[in-house]
Amino acid sequence: MRALVMLLALFFIITLDSSCGSLASNVSCLENEREALIKFKGNLTDEANRLRSWAGKDCCTWEGIGCSRRTGHVMKLDLRNPISYFSEIDYENSLMKELGGEISPSLVDLKHLSYLDLSGNNLSGVDFLGSLKSLRYLNLSSSNLVGKVPRNLGNLSRLQYLDLNNNDLVGPIPNTLERLTSLTVLDLSDNQFNDTIKVPFFPSLGNMTQLTVLDLSYNQFKGEIPNSMKNLCSLRIFDLSSNEFSGEIVSPLYGCIRTSLEELNLMFNLFTGQLPNHLGEFKNLERLLIDGNSFSGPLPSSLGRLSYLRELTARDNQLNGSIPVGLGQLFNLQTLDL
């Protein structure tokens, strides 16, 4: 009996010891990944010395780097400019904090990189990014990018967030992006895209059924909203403002998009026709912004059923008729601009 107890005790000590041992052993940066990051740093200008912590063996402790605690692989590279480009007060500061130069293709050695945020910097050399197969999050907003969206971005089949906002990218948007069916956020706003809706990319948007945010605002996109949009059952924010979209909006907005949408921004386009009466079925709609189009006819009386509506703006259209009585019952309405 005593022998058995001792044996059990010994067993516990051994197992405890070995598990503690694996916890205590610091899994640190892998050498080839450290080298890849050093190369990446070597190609960047860094006036504010933001990368001063990038020295020494353990790259997992460097500014902006996140590693898997289990394997030590670099999973995250977040070098977002800490000062927003859009804050006027801090514009100069923002420029000072910019990293500049070409993104080194050495990053392909970070085989497990799933999160890459280089937004707010002054960068080029994005052509290889389609090789970063593990990416789920890619943020290159306000990065001074020029040229076309690389075709190989379509290879990032795990991508859930793609933010290319506020660059100088031009069309055509490659049809390869139709493979990005895991996207939940797609932001192409504030670029120089002038594609017509005929390019294959647009109908394929209807296949991105996980989308919650689709922002195409501030470009020169042309044409009618594709009917496939109505299948986007998770879409909460749909922003097409400041483009040259045209045609009627009745059928593309008749589908399960009705139940999810919280914000519909169609401002400053060339839309025509009447506002569909089924707008009243967009139960979760909080903001409906249609200023600066050529919508005609009456405001649908069904708008009086949108109990979450906070903002309705419709100035600069050819709407006529009377204000639906039901609007008076929308207790959440804060802004009404006709």
Could you tell me the smallest distance in angstroms from the CB atom of residue 215 to ligand NAG? 9
Measured CA to CA, the distance from residue 222 to residue 102 in angstroms comes to: 32
Could you tell me the smallest distance in angstroms from the CB atom of residue 311 to ligand NAG? 21
Nearer to ligand NAG, 244 or 281 (CB): 244
Supply 153's token pair.
Answer: 């971005």
Q: Of all helices (H) and strands (E), which one includes residue 31? A: helix 31-42
Give me the residues that bind ligand NAG (CB under 6 A), please. Answer: 24-26, 39, 42-43, 80, 95, 98, 100, 102, 104, 119-120, 122, 124, 130, 139, 141-142, 144, 151-152, 154-155, 161, 163, 176, 178, 185, 194, 196, 203-204, 207, 296, 320-321
Nearer to ligand NAG, 105 or 326 (CB): 105
Please, what's the b/e burial string for 55-73 (b: 16 or more CB within 10 A of its CB; e: otherwise)?
eeeebbebebbbbeeeebb
Nearer to ligand NAG, 93 or 155 (CB): 155
Please, what's the b/e burial string for 213-235 (b: 16 or more CB within 10 A of its CB; e: otherwise)?
bbbbbbbebbbbbbebbbebebb
Nearer to ligand NAG, 81 or 260 (CB): 81
Nearer to ligand NAG, 191 or 282 (CB): 191
Nearer to ligand NAG, 139 or 260 (CB): 139
Give the single-character DSSP code of 299. Answer: P
Could you tell me the smallest distance in angstroms from the CB atom of residue 210 to ligand NAG? 13
Could you tell me the smallest distance in angstroms from the CB atom of residue 10 to ligand NAG? 24
Q: Which residues contact 180 (CB under 8 A, 6 or more apart)?
A: 153, 154, 156, 157, 159, 162, 186, 208
Q: Which residues pair with residue 65 across a beta bridge?
A: 77
168-176: Cβ within 8 A, 24+ apart: 168/144, 168/192, 169/145, 169/193, 170/146, 170/194, 171/195, 171/199, 172/148, 172/199, 172/201, 173/149, 173/199, 173/201, 174/148, 174/149, 174/150, 174/201, 175/199, 175/200, 175/201, 175/204, 176/151, 176/152
Nearer to ligand NAG, 43 or 227 (CB): 43
Could you tell me the smallest distance in angstroms from the CB atom of residue 332 to ligand NAG? 25
Could you tell me the smallest distance in angstroms from the CB atom of residue 75 to ligand NAG? 16
Read off φ and ψ for residue 295, nearest 5 degrees: -65, 145
Could you tell me the smallest distance in angstroms from the CB atom of residue 22 to ligand NAG? 11
Measured CA to CA, the distance from residue 251 to residue 232 in angstroms comes to: 13
Q: Answer yes or no: are the C-beta atoms of 174 and 201 closer than 8 Å.
A: yes
Could you tell me the smallest distance in angstroms from the CB atom of residue 146 to ligand NAG? 10
Could you tell me the smallest distance in angstroms from the CB atom of residue 282 to ligand NAG? 24
Q: Which residues pair with residue 311 across a beta bridge?
A: 287, 335
Cα 121–219–157 angle (5° rounding)? 65
